[in-house]
């Protein structure tokens, strides 16, 4: 037998003495009673607070969309190239300048 077959056989033999877990006889009944009893808490939030939170989220999303549209129009395609040239000039300013 090679090593892999030996390991598989050892693993299969280790499962021989394992027994199925047994549960308490009335566990199902206790769970069902707890579900029927409704022991969960209900949290009440004032409608005014919910509307304020919703308005803040909408405002935040609108500001993000506006800033994305504004900056994408301002920079356009040439903006990225100009920024990379400015970065390269600043980065290599202590050595020989590199032209792109």
Over the stretch 51-71, which tens digit does the pLDDT of each residue have? 999 999 999 999 999 998 888
What contacts 89, CB < 8 A, 6 or more positions away?
Answer: 97
Distance CA 28, CA 70 (A): 60
State the pLDDT at residue 60: 97
Q: Is it the case that residue 96 has pLDDT exceeding 70?
A: no
pLDDT band at 94 (very low <50, low <70, confident <90, very high): low
Over the stretch 5-53, which tens digit does the pLDDT of each residue have? 888 888 888 888 788 888 888 888 888 888 888 766 778 899 999 999 9
The answer to whether residues 97 and 89 touch, using CB atoms and an 8 Å cutoff, is: yes
Select from 63, 60, 64 the least CA-distant residue to 52: 60
């Amino acid at each position: 037998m090679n090593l892999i077959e030996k390991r598989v056989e050892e693993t299969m033999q280790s499962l021989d003495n394992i027994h199925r877990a047994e549960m308490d006889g009335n566990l199902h009944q206790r769970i069902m009673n707890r579900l029927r009893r409704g022991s969960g808490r209900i949290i009440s939030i004032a409608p005014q607070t919910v509307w304020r939170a919703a308005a803040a989220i909408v405002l935040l999303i609108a500001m993000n969309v506006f800033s994305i549209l504004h900056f994408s129009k301002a920079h356009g395609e040439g903006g990225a190239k100009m920024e990379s040239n400015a970065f390269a000039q600043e980065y290599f300013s202590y050595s020989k300048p590199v032209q792109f």
